[in-house]
Structure 1
Amino acid sequence: MSSESLSVARPARALLYLHGFNSSSASPKARLVKAACETLARHEGRPFACLTPDLSYRPDLAWQQAEAALESLGHEDTLLVGSSMGGFLATLLAERYGLRAVLINPAVRPARFVADYLGQTLLNDASGEQFTIDNSCFDQLTALQWERIVHPSRYLLLLGSADETLDCHEALRAYAGSRALIHPGGDHGFGVLPEYLPALFAHGGWHVPRSLVLS
């Protein structure tokens, strides 16, 4: 068995959830994943560390924060879960450290998306922070952009077919060879995530009953 196969089969010991652009650890998906991790830890009677850090709107700082969170969990046997922009950052971490990742409507080329918001002032509802999108955000994302996926088997894509923000077909092309679950009519917020929690944890090597993670 190859080292790649071994890394896929081994159960994860921790989970790192990375939220999307202008979101927070208080988002419904972040809270859902955190609660599911706590339920699993109680059920198994063993630790299962889970972090859902708040990430800056600035791509360079968000990347540093994501990498620091992973450092605190350990580079080995951590399952990455990222939504939208968080999916972009999770991909960077997965490629750098050889980790598995579950990507929820991931941003494939976020610099192109952020370009539409240049000059706009936005408000983060969770923190109350106001910020303006400038050229530095575009430049930082361009510098971070990955070119191709080396090991598609590391990834599970959870995609909404009716994503109003990102085209799911772009993700399917960029992560060709990865396993993908497409929810018909699913939007960018992917509010159906509770239905996909068993698949999410199974990608990390945790085989859990549907009733447990939905309880």
Structure 2
Amino acid sequence: MKILYIHGFNSAGYGDKINHLKNDFGAENIIAPTLPYDPEKAMKQLEFLTEAIKDKDKLWIFGTSLGGFYALYLADKYKVPAVLINPSTDPYTSLKDQVGPQVNYKSNEKYEFTEKHLESLKKYYVNNLENLKDFVYVYLDEEDELLDSKKTKEYFEKNGIYVKMYPGGNHRFIHMPELIQDIKTKMV
């Protein structure tokens, strides 16, 4: 089994969540690229990786925040299981105040996030979530300071998708050990 991990906005393919996944599933089974900030370039890379892996190995996709939004799209397109961690459901709205000069907080890459980038995110929106209820799992920290976890919980639950919300926490998501223990029961 392989896990494709998709990081969030202004992040990178390394850090605590990935370390937890490597410790529990083996470093050789975790693919965690640092993606381009441009959504279309990021999705081309993610589609290439998904297509290359899914036919050779059992593939699970994990995504955090914007990466959760991307993971949902890939789960729908390729019918592969996905774990969404504090996912953004509408990054083309929630990232509006990020338009302008940016510095990636992990890689220090400087770039300009534009209205065109926001617009391009809309094409990855999944309309029908009901078809995903057997293989998409959502994990939330209740005290997410960037995204409204209660609205996110409602959004997915009304479509029959599994949601587990942990008390406390934050947008960075502090419950990876608990998430891993829970998702292992679904990976059987």
TM-score, normalising length from structure 1? 0.79
Between the aligned partners of 1:87 and 1:51, the Cα distance in structure 2 is 15
Q: Which has the larger radius of gyration?
A: 1
Q: CA RMSD in A?
A: 1.7
Given the alignment of the two structures, is residue 159 of structure 1 paired with residue 159 of structure 2, yes or no?
A: no
- Specify the code of the residue in structure 2 equivalent to 1:112: T
- Unaligned residue ranges in structure 1 (runs of 5+): 1-12, 40-47, 206-215
Structure 1 residues 73 and 163 mapped into 2: Cα distance closer, same or farther (>3 Å)? same
- Unaligned residue ranges in structure 2 (runs of 5+): none
Tell me whether 173-182 or 72-81 shows the greater mean CA deviation.
72-81
Tell me whether 90-99 or 188-197 shows the greater mean CA deviation.
188-197
Report Cα offsets for 1:53-111 as digits up to 9, x if no partner.
Answer: 11111111111111122123124631111111111111011101111111100000110
Q: Which residue of 2 aligns with 1:7?
A: none
Given the alignment of the two structures, is residue 21 of structure 1 paired with residue 9 of structure 2, yes or no?
A: yes
Paired residue secondary structure (2:134): helix
Paired residue secondary structure (1:189): coil
Q: Residue 22 of structure 2 contacts residue 29 of structure 2 at CA under 8 Å; is this kept in 1?
A: no
Between the aligned partners of 1:172 and 1:125, the Cα distance in structure 2 is 27
Identity among equivalent positions (%) equals 28
Paired residue secondary structure (1:56): coil
- Specify the code of the residue in structure 1 equivalent to 2:19: R
Between the aligned partners of 2:30 and 2:41, the Cα distance in structure 1 is 21
Given the alignment of the two structures, is residue 124 of structure 1 paired with residue 88 of structure 2, yes or no?
A: no
Runs ≥4 residues deviating over 4 A: none
- Specify the code of the residue in structure 1 equivalent to 2:97: D
Q: Residue 76 of structure 2 contacts residue 126 of structure 2 at CA under 8 Å; is this kept in 1?
A: no
Given the alignment of the two structures, is residue 197 of structure 1 paired with residue 180 of structure 2, yes or no?
A: yes
* Aligned-residue offset at 1:49: 2.7
Q: Which residue of 1 aligns with 2:42?
A: 62
- Specify the code of the residue in structure 2 equivalent to 1:94: A
* Aligned-residue offset at 1:142: 1.6
Between the aligned partners of 2:6 and 2:22, the Cα distance in structure 1 is 11
Q: Residue 105 of structure 1 contacts residue 160 of structure 1 at CA under 8 Å; is this kept in 2?
A: yes
Q: Which residue of 1 aligns with 2:122?
A: 142
- Specify the code of the residue in structure 1 equivalent to 2:75: A
- Specify the code of the residue in structure 2 equivalent to 1:58: D
Q: Residue 108 of structure 1 contacts residue 170 of structure 1 at CA under 8 Å; is this kept in 2?
A: no
